Homo-oligomer: A and B are copies of this chain.
Amino acid sequence: MNQRVTIVYCTQCRWLLRAGWMAQELLSTFDSELDELTLKPGTGGIFEVYANDQCVWSRKDAGRFPEITELKQVVRDVIAPERDLGHIDRKKKLNL
């Protein structure tokens, strides 16, 4: 199966740098799992991340941007659910 992530960002809000940074973080972390990552310019304050067409983050719904660690976790849950993200996951468990 083709594993893919899409980041839709608002150009009016100048979120390209943020989206580009997150893109590189995801491609770096999931370098053996991800087949492609697409950046899609949008408007109207949109910031949405999709993993295999499933929306894993919407700034409108969440009311904020994701931390890069939680973005990796929600992407992982779709494209590599068995994968341990190391200290990111351990930190989360300690916070419970």
Q: Within 8 Å of chain B (Cβ to Cβ): is A41?
A: yes
Q: Within 8 Å of chain B (Cβ to Cβ): is A17?
A: yes
Q: Cα distance A6–B38 when bound, in Å?
A: 9
| Segment 1-47 of A: residues with Cβ below 8 Å from B | 6, 11, 16-17, 20, 23-24, 27-28, 31, 34-41
Interface of A is mostly: mixed
Which residues of chain B come closer than 8 Å to A11, judged between CB atoms? 31
Q: Cα distance A24–B22 when bound, in Å?
A: 12
Which residues of chain B come closer than 8 Å to A40, judged between CB atoms? 35-36
Q: Cα distance A36–B39 when bound, in Å?
A: 6
Interchain CB contact under 8 A, A37 and B34: no
